[in-house]
Amino acid sequence: MSRFTRELSEQIAREFAAAQQYIAIAVWYDRETLPELARHFYRQAVEERNHAMIIVQYLLDTQQEVKIPGVDAPKTEFPDPRAPVALAYEQERDVTDRIQKLTRIARDEGDLVGEQFLAWFLKEQIEEMASMADLLTVVERASSTNILLAEDYLARTAVAAGKGRGEAPPAAGGAL
Ligand SMILES: [Fe+2]
Ligand SMILES: [Fe+2]
């Protein structure tokens, strides 16, 4: 197994861990009766799950070993409504770094197919970091006045979420 394949397999665990973390965040908002924030993170969790399954499909398509990993427990307690979004933003930045590292490994190993596969993830990360940064700005502004302003923001912009998914690589078992 190449170093690239090994590191890419580890990314499956990180995508599933991100999905679990977003479910935990969604449940936290749900308990706080902030339904739009909850809905947003339930949806993000599905996207992270799809990311994991896109990598699984790639490994299947390229005749490589696939192992479905366990994941670490997510953070479930937060001091205030801003904290989960701050954590999510940090997580997205971390994923971007890791995808860049993976791309560099593919390039170093001359794995052009692998490098090309990751191009979609790099593009996706720009979008995810930008939308999480926007949400963080809104939540920070709203938490000093009225957190329901963040709910309004999400209710108004929800239509834009999830667009451009058409060009996503195939996910094992189909994207949800
Ligand atoms: Fe992801
Ligand atoms: Fe993400």
pLDDT in single tens digits along all 176 residues of the chain: 899 999 999 999 999 999 999 999 999 999 999 999 999 999 999 999 999 999 999 999 999 999 999 999 999 999 999 999 999 999 999 999 999 999 999 999 999 999 999 999 999 999 999 999 999 999 999 998 999 999 999 999 875 555 555 689 999 999 99
Q: How far is the CA of 17 from the centre of ligand 2 (A)?
A: 11
Number of the ligand closest to the Cα of 16? 1
Class of domain 3-167: mainly alpha
So where are the chain's domains? 3-167
Judging by beta carbons within 10 Å of its beta carbon (0-12, 13-18, 19+), is residue 45 exposed, middle or buried? buried
Residues 64-97: tens digit of each pLDDT: 999 999 999 999 999 999 999 999 999 999 999 9
CA 164 to chain CA centroid, nearest Å? 15
pTM of the model: 0.93
Element spanning 176, H or E: none
Q: How far is the CA of 111 from the centre of ligand 2 (A)?
A: 24
